[in-house]
Amino acid sequence: MAHTITIPTLLRSLTGGLETVELEAATVLEVVENLDAQYPGFRARICETNGELRRFINFYLNGEDVRFLDNLATRLPEQAEIAIIPAIAGG
């Protein structure tokens, strides 16, 4: 079943204004790859050249920061909800 990815405002110029995107993927890394296939340039916006997520981009899988899981290698359960959220708020 497809996962639901929530796109933050700062990235919606890439998704043609879409706030959520549905796609299939086995891991968080595949989410990034599939987003990039669907919306070219997506990966370059959120990842460093070494492929790691940028310092100020966080991925949440069903509410949990993937840094507490297995980062990009985190495997996804069925119908996962993934939120991409810039880490620039709070405190």
Partner 1 sequence: MSFVTGLKCRECGRKYPKEPTAGCSECFAPLEVDYDYDAIAQTLTREKITRREPNIWKYRELLPLDGTPVVGPGTGCTPLLRAKNLGKRLGLTNLYIKNDSVNAPTLSFKDRVTAVAVNKALEFGLTAVGCASTGNLANSVAATAAAAGLPAFILIPENLEKSKVVGTTIYGATVVAVRGNYDDVNRLCTQIADRYAWGLVNVNLRPFYGEGSKTVGYEIAEALGWRAPDAIVVPMAGGSLITKIHKGFKEFEKLGLLDAPVATRIFGAQATGCNPIATAVKRSTCTIRPVKPDTIAKSLAIGNPADGYFAAGVIARSGGWAEDVSDPEILEGIKLLAETEGIFTETAGGVTVAVTQKLVAEKRIKPDDVTVLTITGNGLKTQEVLHTAPPVVIDPRLADFHSAVFGKAASA
Which residues form the interface with partner 1 (CB under 8 A)? 6, 8-10, 45-46, 54-58, 60, 63, 65, 67-68, 83, 85-91
Nearer of residues 23 and 86 to partner 1, judged by Cβ? 86
| Residue 57 beta carbon to partner 1: minimum distance, rounded to whole angstroms | 5
Nearer of residues 1 and 17 to partner 1, judged by Cβ? 17
| Residue 54 beta carbon to partner 1: minimum distance, rounded to whole angstroms | 6
Which residues fall within 8 angstroms of residue 8, CB to CB, at 6 or more apart? 84, 85, 86
Nearer of residues 16 and 63 to partner 1, judged by Cβ? 63
For residue 75, how many other CB atoms are within 10 A of its CB? 13
